[in-house]
Structures are given as structure tokens and as C-alpha cells.
Amino acid sequence: MTRALIVGNWKMNLNRKESQYLASAVVQQAEVCPAVELVVCPPTVHLVSVAEVIAPSKVRLGAQNMYHRDNGAFTGEVSARMLRDVNCRYVILGHSERRHLLGETNEQVNLKTLAAIEAGLTPIVCVGEQLQDRQAGRTYKVIAEQCQHSLAHLSSQQITRIVIAYEPVWAIGTGKVATPEQAEEVHGDLRKMLEERYNIQIAYGVRLLYGGSVKSDNAGVLLSQPNVDGALVGGASLEAGDFCAIATAGSHS
């Protein structure tokens, strides 16, 4: 049994002081929840100051995005190596806000995934269907396509270095959480896809997170699904109490 992985995606929120305050509250929680791995993903400008706060603890640092090249004339971008240099262990890639608001493609997510692994980061690759896809019965097709292209060219060694987050777009920031059955169905499909492409051992070695309106009152039942290995939490990760309650639910799952 692997420890549940609970990741807080702070998105474009909080100033420096607020980030440090929230990070120290998460550090305190990590001490009472040793059965969970906690990751915080602050905005890029706060990575260094949050890294200082969490340094003595087991809380890990994650970024919300990166560029696939190491360095060069790419104004406004940061590389995987730069993220490693400030002690990031994780990086969220292909979040639906980047895919749908900023036009990020599967091909870009794939390049970033490969570059992140190469630099020693663990990519958290997000996939998920839109409401119209689900209503039209296309959930499986959309997710299979995203996986096929976003995770192209990954060797069996590389695939075990990633985390996949299933985040139905209609559930993100809406308060409309997937039912535990809906989440488990897609997670089971993801597991099968990995098994078909690699093997059963590898399929069970890749951690699968659910994301989309995870709150303290629904985390327990979601995290107790057999194929849900953790959660990617947006809004509720900005409140130390809520995030900690989700972590506690993860430690009991």
C-alpha cells in the first residue's frame, strides 16, 4: 500500500506572507498525518519562500507549470532544472486551465513531461473530460486520447516516475464533485490503459489522483476508492483547516 498523495494547487492566489503562513500550517499537519505525502504548489514567485518554510519538514514542493527547454530565449518561462534548483520535486502539467484557457496541447504536455522526468521532477499530468464529452458518452475516448498523446514516448521506466491526475473539467472549481463511482470508473480505466500499454506491475506503480471540488466532506469517500491514490486539491487547499482535513481523510483511507 502506498501512502496517499495529497497535492495542494494554490493556482494564482496568495501573496508572499500568506503563502508562508499557509505553508507552515501544512507543515504542522504533516507531523500528525505521517500516512500521507503532502505537496504544496504555490505560484512560481513564491516557490523560494515556501521552500524555506517547508525545508525542515516532509512536505514537498511542486510547481504549477514549466517549459520543456533547459534554458535560452524563452521570455517568461522557467525550466525543469530551475525548478529542481529551488527544491521542487513535483510539477503539475497539462492542467485543464492551461489546456482550455491558454491553449496548451497534448504535444506540449508530452514535451514537458519528458523534460520534467529528465530533470528529476515528478510530473503530475492532468487529464479530464468536459461536460459535453461526458454527456455524449465520450469520457473514455477523450481520456484515452489525452493519455496516448500527453504520455507518448514514455518508456516503462519513465512512466513509473509520473503521477496522473484525473480532473473532470466540469468538476474543477464548480463544487460539482464527481461521484465516487464516476471517479473510480475512470481511475479503473486508466489503470487498464497502463496495464495494456506496459504491464500490471507498472499499472499499479503509477499513482492516480482525483481532482475537482475535493473538500473535507467528500475526500474520505473518494480516497477510499480502490484506484484513487490521492487528490489534487484547488480551492480547499487555500484554507489550512480544509486542506488538513483532506489530508486526515487520506491518512485513513
Catalogue the active-site residues: 95, 167
Min CB(238)–ligand PGA separation in Å: 9
Q: Which is nearer to ligand PGA, 128 or 193 (by Cβ)?
A: 128
Handedness of CA 230, 236, 237, 239 (dihedral sign): negative
7 phi/psi in degrees, rounded to 5: -115, 130
C-alpha cell at 231: 487528490
Min CB(106)–ligand PGA separation in Å: 18
Q: Which is nearer to ligand PGA, 147 or 203 (by Cβ)?
A: 147
CA angle centred on 32, ends 28 and 37, rounded to 5°: 85
C-alpha cell at 24: 507552515
CB of 231 closer than 8 Å to CB of 216: no
Query: Which DSSP state fits 125?
Result: E
Min CB(24)–ligand PGA separation in Å: 22
CB of 91 closer than 8 Å to CB of 119: no
Q: Which is nearer to ligand PGA, 46 or 215 (by Cβ)?
A: 215
Interatomic CA distance for residues 222 and 148, integer angstroms: 25
Min CB(152)–ligand PGA separation in Å: 23
C-alpha cell at 138: 465520450
Interatomic CA distance for residues 158 and 151, integer angstroms: 10
Min CB(242)–ligand PGA separation in Å: 10
Q: Which is nearer to ligand PGA, 27 or 212 (by Cβ)?
A: 212
Enumerate the β-bridge partners of residue 90. 62, 122
Q: Which is nearer to ligand PGA, 128 or 159 (by Cβ)?
A: 128
Min CB(69)–ligand PGA separation in Å: 25
Query: Which residue sits closest to ligand PGA, CB atoms considered?
Result: 234
124 phi/psi in degrees, rounded to 5: -105, 100
Q: How far apart are the first and last CA of the chain?
A: 11
Q: Which is nearer to ligand PGA, 37 or 167 (by Cβ)?
A: 167
Q: How many other C-beta atoms lie within 10 A of the C-beta of residue 60?
A: 19
Binding site for ligand PGA (CB under 6 A): 9, 167, 172-173, 211-214, 232-236
Interatomic CA distance for residues 84 and 19, integer angstroms: 19
